[in-house]
């Protein structure tokens, strides 16, 4: 048997919440001490696990009470359904990650998802899509991205960064060299083929962003060595005149 305090420390569920679950008939203690303190056995803890899984899936308490209060409630079947729902949720989160990666490739500001707690993920996705989703470039990217798997997106990112590694191999020379200029057009073609139509105007904007500092500059320099981002931006500027 565990006391309410021990259960709270084990599960992270507050004592107040456990008392409330008891009050509404969702999770009753298995017994009480002589002093009236709640005690919970393994069966009660298993029920709490079920409750927490349902809560993680954002089921309202009234629905959980209804589901778990049924005579025909099958714990194993419920667990199978919870696993299926969690898999769907996992896929949803992966789509959000892929969406963020896509925005990053499009040249908008980088986003550190560690700065967002789980409750704000959907809010951010809606705001970001509202901000960028009406542009022809984003719509084109979204269409192409929808046809790729997560693994294919990872491969695409790796190929994209390889282009900057190749810029890094050229940075010892001049940004107006034939090799550097050919690499600029190779970059532009890659973006057009895999992401969205990269016009000269867009490419010019990307070049300025690449050398502006921050995460993009750091990532490019990490791929091709320090100074690669500035060299790439200079080569783009020469190419576009």
Residue recorded with tokens 């490739």 = 105
Q: What is the pLDDT of residue 128?
A: 41
Task: Look at residues 138, 134, 188 and name the one whose alpha carbon lies nearest to residue 160.
Answer: 188
Interatomic CA distance for residues 143 and 232, integer angstroms? 28
Do the Cβ atoms of 196 and 106 come closer than 8 Å? Answer: yes
What are 75's two structure tokens?
């714990």
Look up residue 38 and give its DSSP letter: E
DSSP run (H or E) holding 77:
helix 75-106
Interatomic CA distance for residues 133 and 130, integer angstroms? 5
When pLDDT is averaged across residues 38-49 and rounded to a whole number, the result is 92
What is the torsional sign of CA 65, 67, 69, 75? negative
Task: Look at residues 87, 73, 215 and name the one whose alpha carbon lies nearest to residue 229.
Answer: 215
Task: Look at residues 216, 212, 188 and name the one whose alpha carbon lies nearest to residue 201.
Answer: 188
At residue 43, does pLDDT exceed 80?
Answer: yes
- pLDDT tens, 134-164? 567 767 777 887 888 878 877 888 888 899 9
Q: What is the pLDDT of residue 177?
A: 95
- Look over the chain and give the mean of its residue pLDDT values, rounded to a whole number: 81
Question: Which backbone phi and psi does 95 adopt, to 5 degrees?
Answer: -65, -40
Domains annotated on the chain, with CATH: 2-73 (1.10.1660.10), 88-145 (no CATH), 150-240 (1.10.490.50)
**pLDDT band at residue 80 under the 50/70/90 scheme:** confident
Interatomic CA distance for residues 101 and 154, integer angstroms? 9
DSSP-H helix ranges across 74-227: 75-106, 121-132, 136-145, 150-170, 178-194, 200-210, 215-224
Ordered strands of the 31-32 beta sheet: 2-3, 38-40, 31-32
């Amino acid at each position: 048997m565990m006391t309410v305090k021990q259960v709270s420390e084990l599960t992270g569920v507050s004592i107040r919440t456990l008392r409330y679950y008891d009050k509404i008939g969702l999770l009753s203690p298995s017994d009480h001490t002589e002093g009236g303190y709640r005690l919970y056995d393994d069966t009660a803890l298993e029920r709490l696990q079920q409750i927490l899984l349902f809560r993680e899936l954002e089921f309202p308490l009234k629905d959980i009470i209804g589901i778990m209060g049924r005579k025909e409630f099958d714990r194993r079947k419920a667990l199978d359904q919870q696993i299926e729902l969690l898999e769907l949720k996992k896929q949803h989160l992966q789509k959000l990650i892929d969406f963020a990666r896509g925005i990053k490739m499009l040249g908008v500001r980088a986003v550190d998802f560690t700065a967002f707690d789980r409750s704000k993920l959907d809010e951010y996705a809606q705001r970001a899509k509202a901000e960028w989703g009406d542009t022809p470039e984003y719509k084109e990217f979204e269409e192409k991205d929808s046809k790729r798997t997560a693994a294919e997106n990872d491969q695409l990112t790796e190929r994209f960064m390889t282009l900057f590694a190749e810029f890094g191999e050229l940075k010892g020379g001049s940004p107006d060299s034939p090799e550097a200029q050919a690499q600029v057009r190779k970059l532009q073609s890659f973006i057009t083929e895999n992401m969205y139509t990269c016009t000269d105007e867009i490419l010019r904007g990307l070049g300025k962003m690449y050398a502006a500092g921050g995460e993009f500059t750091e990532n490019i320099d990490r791929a091709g060595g320090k100074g690669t981002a500035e060299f790439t931006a200079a080569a783009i500027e020469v190419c576009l005149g």
